[in-house]
Amino acid sequence: MARRNRTLVPGARPALDDFKAKVMSEKGYRVNPSNPNEVKYEIAKEQGIPLKKGYNGHLSSEEAGKVGGPIGGNMVKEMVRLAQEQLSKNPKG
């Protein structure tokens, strides 16, 4: 199956990867700064999910969500926190 999860602004990919590395390392995960996507293998191992490099069609949606959820969820929480911080500094926008 083709991967459809694409960044709307392709030039933003390096910044998103840096952000992912920052957020996940703050959560206590070991993150390779040159390839922050590898943190998913640490999360999978922690959850007991047999994630491997390459095709993982054998994983259920629930298992895949247990790997991706903590990454995306933590990134969203941090983005909301940053936005709230910005709004509190300049409430008139």
pLDDT tens digits for the chain (93 residues)?
Answer: 455 667 788 899 899 999 999 999 999 999 998 899 899 999 999 999 999 999 999 999 999 999 999 999 999 999 999 999 999 998 675
Place of tokens 């054998």: 58
Rounded CA gap, 24 and 27, in Å?
A: 5
Rg for the chain, CA atoms, rounded:
15
Query: Is 77 part of any domain?
Result: yes
Rounded CA gap, 30 and 63, in Å?
A: 21
Sign of the C-alpha dihedral, residues 7, 43, 41, 68? negative
Query: Is 4 part of any domain?
Result: no
- Expressed as residue numbers, the domain containing 61 is 10-89
Count of structural domains within the chain: 1
